[in-house]
Structure 1
Amino acid sequence: MRLHVGCAMWAHKAWQGRLLAHPLPTQERLRHYAGWCDAVEGNTTFYATPTRDTVATWVQQTGTDFRFVAKLPKVVTHERRLSEVTEPMRVFLDAIAPLGPRAHALWVQLPGSFGPDDVPTLARFLRRLPATYRAAVEVRHPAFFTETRATRLLETVLGEADAEWVSFDTTAFFAAPPTSDAERDAWTKKPRMPLRTHALTDRPIVRYLGRDDADRTVEGWQHWVDITVDWLREGRSPTMFVHTPDNVDAPVLARRFHDEVRARVPDLAPLPEPIPLEPTTLF
């Protein structure tokens, strides 16, 4: 039983000198982020597959309990839509191999046009994944949320592959009009996803988008605190990624979510202590 929490990235200009030491060399940024959170969304791998040596530095900067949810490359999910992807998947899997057990899941984020008629393609793709990896699939076609037949079809395919359905909760964000530049920008880019709270596996993954106002973000995640507590008591080990439009306080909020859950599940392991912004001195 474990709750992992994290953010959409491990480096952010707004964190420099406030949450993370500054300046930091590139090869130290993840190490300092890992003092705040014990998981991260691997969004960068969507745009470019890193070298194996680069991934090895990620391992060097994190402890054995740290987890990456590695996003499959855009060419695999959006350009080729999971078909004829043997070579890009070979390159990607070879690159992330150093992660070993730190690779919590392969994140298969599918475009909104990938609908129920495409599920057989997804099924074939999942069957070909190496057994050493677990998949977490994020869909955005509305039929999967509104049509019972489509929901059951997807759940069946995911269940057969022991793959999770990633919940992307944007309901709190879209509950009221935007009030900041970052919120106005996100308003035009983020999908209005129906709320889904059902876990298929013992390792559910939630992506939660709050507001730039911390109080509204916390208010909007209270149902997830209840659900996460229930999951933990059922023996599941969930992962919660906290987003806000500006992400200025995302690591702080992720830790706060963990604290709220741990207050109700005292046996939950604590998060690591953040690395001090400045070296401690004796005098």
Structure 2
Amino acid sequence: MAITKYHLGLTQWGLKEWKGTFYTDDVAQSQFLKQYSSVFNSVEGNTTFYRVPEEETVLKWASQVPDGFKFCFKFPQGITHYKRLSGVEQDVMEFLELFEPIRGKLGPFHIQLSSQFSFKEFSKLEALCEFLPPHLKYAVEVRHEDFYDKGDKERRLFELLKANSIDRVTFDTRKLHSIQGGDESIREAQKKKPKTPVRFDASSSRPFVRYVGANDVLNNETWLKEWAIITADWINDGLHPYIFIHAPDTLHAPAIAKEFHRLLSGFVELEPLQKFPKERQNEQLGLF
């Protein structure tokens, strides 16, 4: 796998529309993850936010990816949104224990809090951070304006995460929300994605960035280059970033991620990204 200095991934691996564009024409759905992980070395595990998988499924996923690949599974919404971190110790342990057999293929667990989770509930986040098993890694995403006050509340959050070696998730939707007009996928994404401010400081060793902008590569260029410069600085400082590329229409996410890696290669020495499975298929067909 070409990527070693950082982890790069998308929001999922199971998009059927990638057949014939990112994936090969004839790939079976059961082989999506294998083809995905031949290019990218991480993925957001958003599926666990809605439904906790069976252990057999987790083991199957792990068997399909190479060494160095990292899953960043999201905490279930029952823990973060319904119970709002109250009395969740047993739920958390049962969830984490499910992934213990594949510990070597785990990146930071993604703990996304509700936009209604304010500083008034900060003590619950403190309790969770102190309770989490330290042999695993975590990244916390906050969405309430309290945690972006550039004052005491935000400082308390940063200090809490830093003390527990937990990364703060940056969700950059600036480009997305700057688009006027656009197709239906843009409008739907603008309704769903928050307008949280962007922070560039790292609270631990694995800065965790989620980026969503336009559907076409060219209109993301300025923003991707900014993140490439920041990511390069993190790498040069000895950190290991996790960068996840979204697109309003997920069909376009692989190409945008490929462009990000190309831009980052201009600031840090990196091997080229592996060719997409579809591109490799086209080359093979060209031999005949």
TM normalised by structure 1 equals: 0.93
Whole-angstrom CA distance in 1 between matches of 2:67 and 2:163: 29
Question: How far apart are the structure 2 equivalents of 1:11 and 1:173?
Answer: 23
CA distance in structure 2 between the partners assigned to 1:139 and 1:4 by the alignment: 22
Q: Deviations over 1:227-251 (max 9, x none)?
A: 1111111111111111110022211
* Partner amino acid, structure 1, of 2:86: S
Partners of 2:36 and 2:241 lie apart in 1 by: 20
2:33 maps to which residue? 30
> How many angstroms apart in 2 are the aligned matches of 1:23 and 1:46?
30
CA contact (8 A) 1:3 1:239 kept: yes
Instruction: State how far apart, in whole Å, the 2-side matches of 1:147 and 1:202 are.
Output: 22
- In structure 1, runs of 5+ residues without a counterpart are none
Task: Name the counterpart of 1:216.
Answer: 219
Deviations 1:7-59 (A, max 9, x none): 11112132111211244334311111112211100100000011111111111
Q: How many residues align?
A: 282
- The 3 A distance-change label for structure 1 pair 270 and 96 is farther
Deviations 1:35-92 (A, max 9, x none): 2211100100000011111111111111111111110001010011112113322331
Is residue 78 of structure 2 the alignment partner of residue 75 of structure 1? yes
Question: Bigger CA drift: 117-126 or 106-115?
Answer: 117-126
From 225, 242, 253, the equivalent of 1:239 is 242
Q: 2:189 aligns with which of 186, 189, 192?
A: 186
| CA deviation vs aligned residue, 1:140-186 (integer Å, no higher than 9, x gap) | 00121124111101011111111000000011111131311100111
Structure 1 stretch 160-169 or stretch 218-227: which is displaced more? 218-227
**Local SS of the residue matching 1:221:** helix
Give yes or no for the alignment of 1:106 onto 2:109: yes
State the partner residue of 2:162. Answer: 159
Map residues 124-143 of structure 1 onto 2, 5 A cutoff: 124-143=127-146
Q: 2:17 aligns with which of 14, 17, 31?
A: 14
Name the SS for the 2:84 alignment partner. coil
Matched letter for residue 66 of structure 2: G
SS at match of 2:72: strand
The residue identity in structure 2 corresponding to 1:116 is F
Query: 2:46: which partner in 1?
Result: 43
Matches of 1:47 and 1:74, distance apart in 2? 6
Residue aligning to 1:255: 258
Q: Residue by residue, what CA displacement relative to the aligned partner does 1:186-207 show, whole Å, maximum 9, x if unpaired?
A: 1111111112111111110100
Tell me how large the CA RMSD over aligned residues is: 1.8
Q: TM-score, normalised by structure 2?
A: 0.92
CA displacement at 1:128 relative to structure 2: 1.4
Identity of aligned residues (%): 32
Q: Secondary structure at the match of 2:114?
A: coil
Structure 1 distance, partners of 2:17, 2:39, is 15
Would you say the 8 A contact 1:72–1:108 is kept in 2? yes
The answer to whether the 8 A contact 2:115-2:144 is kept is: yes
Moved more, 87-96 or 224-233: 87-96
Structure 2 unaligned segments of length 5 or more: list them.
none
Q: Residues 279 and 216 (structure 1 numbering): CA distance in 2 closer, same or farther, change over 3 Å? A: closer
